Every structure is written in structure tokens, then in C-alpha cells.
Copies of this chain bind each other. A is one copy, B any other.
């Protein structure tokens, strides 16, 4: 079991399924032999029972998030060691961030910086628990990464999350030209990456040189074909109709879920920087990803897409040993080196 799922599962054990919760209906398929053994092991895992967890109140959200965050302590120290990176906790414009640096940074990358937003449905991933992907990017990709520990609901309703993202980006612009800044993140982090770019554009700020939203949550409503076709297939998210949809509504906080700063697939993406999107054939967010990709290309943006064979949501960063992870972070590194000055 990959560390994130293990942590989530451990966190779940102390959770209670909401009364009357629908039982998951897994759709079974043969294990593909067209992926690495590491990915095959992930595909073989049962979907998490917590997919259908429906926190009944704010306290249940917070308790769940806290258990998730503390569970990360089990695997992060080992991962940091393995990736040979240093992690420094600091604040930028008052917003807590983790600066993650590889031991050796190539000369050309010394003045470049990647801004990272973690995933977790706008509720999970607080503190260091959100740094796993950033550690892999620093370790496997060789970049310095600033991972933003943004505020989340229920304590901090919308737009606190995106405000924090913008604060860090604006502060960064004071010392680093936009042409040397790349932005990336997975799932919710991919959504924030896109929303930040929309808002920077609306505010007239220089846009980052390149962005890499991985399987981004571009539509907070249950709109998009793979929400249905890959329901019960994706063994990470499983379905929109569990905690995920609840988290969408919690994050929106009464706003329209189709607001472009919440669901960037509805935004005007003309003028966006080069974009690299990633998904998997079993991913519940496959449509979230390809709809965004098509929209970017229709707007004339240089937008690339990678879809991993047999992969459910975000599994490319769930095992550092999987060749798919090595490939993914190499692709990201190559992409950012191509587009960052």
C-alpha cells in the first residue's frame, strides 16, 4: 500500500461511516500487465472504505483532517531521507510554506523556483502531510520547491485558500521574475494552480512561465464523463458521491460551484502559459483533465497531456519506487527546464 493510501486508511479506521451510507460498488477488471509491478500493486488494492465518509459537522471534518495529517509522520521522514532533500519551514507574506531543496541543484536551476500546491480535496494535506509530491519533485526532478501550506475549510472558508496562494505568488514575484517560476500540484493542487493563473491574469500580474496541473480538479460539480464511467473503477477517489462531493460544497461555501476560481474549466484561459496535464485511464478525474486540455488547446495555449496506462487518480506520486513516478517527475522536470528561463 502506498504511503498516502496507508495514511488515509489508518486515519479512516477511527472514522465512522455515515449512517445509511451507500456501500461501494467496485467494478472489477483484470490487473493490467502493461504497467510496472509497483503500479500493478497499487491497482490491485481495494478502494478505501472512507470514500463514502460523510462528515456530519465541522468537527468531524477537522478530526478527519487532523488524523490524516498526523498519519503522514509515518512515512515522510523516510521519504525525505530517500530523496535526499532538506525541508525548511518558513513563512512568505505570513503564509506558512515548506521550502524543499535537493542536495545538489544544477547551475541553470539555481535561480528557478517551483511553487507547489498539495492535493486533498481542499480539506486534507495540512502541514507537512501535504509535502510528499513536492519532496519527489525536488528529489527526482532536482528543483527547489516551495510547497504552500494554505488555509482550508472548515476553519478558513473560501477564498482563504486562493488568497494564500496569491499572497505567496505575489511575494515571490518581488524577488524572482515570473519567467523563472513554475507552478504545479495534483488534484486540488492542480485546481489551485489553474485558479491562481486565472486570478493572476485577472489582476494583471505576470503569469508563471509554465504550469503543470496533475489530474486537476477543474470541475467541482459532478460534470464530466469520467465521473460516471470511471466511478467504481478508480480505486483512489472511487466516486464523486462520497466525501469528495461534500468537500466540493464545503469549499464553495455557498458560492456557485461553477465559479471559474473554484472550477477553472469554466474560466477564460486565453494567454495561459505552457501547460502540462497528467491523468490516468482509470482516473475519476480523466475528464477533468482532458476537458481542461481541450479548452487550453482551443484557446491556442501550448498544452501537453500525459495519460498513464491503468492508473487511477494521482497514483504517479504515491510510490517513489514506481517507474511511473520516475517518469512523471522526469517529464515535469524536462517541461519546466524547457519553459523556465
Q: A: which residues have CB within 8 A of B?
A: 29-30, 32-35, 223-226, 228-229, 233, 281-282, 286-287, 290-291, 293-294, 297-298, 304-310, 327, 331
**Hey, which chain B residues are within 8 Å of A281, CB to CB?**
225-226, 229, 286-287, 290
Interchain CB contact (< 8 A) of A306 among B223, B294, B310: B294
**Hey, which chain B residues are within 8 Å of A286, CB to CB?**
281, 307
The CA of A306 and the CA of B290, in the complex, are separated in Å by: 8
The CA of A310 and the CA of B229, in the complex, are separated in Å by: 9
**Hey, which chain B residues are within 8 Å of A223, CB to CB?**
33-34
**Hey, which chain B residues are within 8 Å of A293, CB to CB?**
306-307
CB pair A34 B291 closer than 8 Å: yes
CB pair B290 A225 closer than 8 Å: no
**Hey, which chain B residues are within 8 Å of A29, CB to CB?**
225, 228-229
CB pair A309 B282 closer than 8 Å: no
**Hey, which chain B residues are within 8 Å of A307, CB to CB?**
286, 290, 293, 305, 307
Which 8 residue pairs are nearest across A and B when measured between Cβ atoms?
Answer: A225-B310, A32-B225, A290-B307, A29-B228, A305-B305, A29-B229, A291-B309, A290-B309
**Hey, which chain B residues are within 8 Å of A33, CB to CB?**
223
Interchain CB contact (< 8 A) of A34 among B34, B225, B304: B225
The CA of A229 and the CA of B294, in the complex, are separated in Å by: 23
CB pair A224 B304 closer than 8 Å: no
CB pair B327 A30 closer than 8 Å: no
**Hey, which chain B residues are within 8 Å of A282, CB to CB?**
225, 229
Other than the given A293-B307, A294-B327, A305-B306, 13 more pairs (CB < 8 A) read A29-B228, A32-B225, A32-B228, A34-B291, A225-B282, A226-B281, A229-B281, A229-B282, A287-B309, A294-B306, A298-B327, A304-B304, A305-B307
